[in-house]
Amino acid sequence: MKNFEIIEIDKFKDSSNYEMIEDGIYNDLNDDGGFATHRIAMTMVVEEGENSQYPLEDVLDKFYVHVEEFLEPKNENETRFIFGGELDDIQNLKSLIGKRAFNQDYVDEEGQTRVKLIIE
To the nearest 10°, report the CA torsion of 60, 103, 7, 3: 160
Is the distance from CB of 94 to CB of 75 less than 8 angstroms? no
Rounded Cα distance between 81 and 39, Å, is: 10
Rounded Cα distance between 113 and 13, Å, is: 46
Predicted TM-score (pTM) of this structure:
0.92
Supply the pLDDT for residue 48.
86
Q: What domain range is 27 assigned to?
A: 2-119
Q: How many structural domains comprise the chain?
A: 1
Supply the pLDDT for residue 37.
95
Tens place of pLDDT per residue across the chain (120 aa): 999 999 999 999 999 999 999 999 999 999 888 789 999 999 999 998 777 678 999 999 999 999 999 999 999 889 999 999 999 999 999 999 999 999 999 999 999 999 999 999
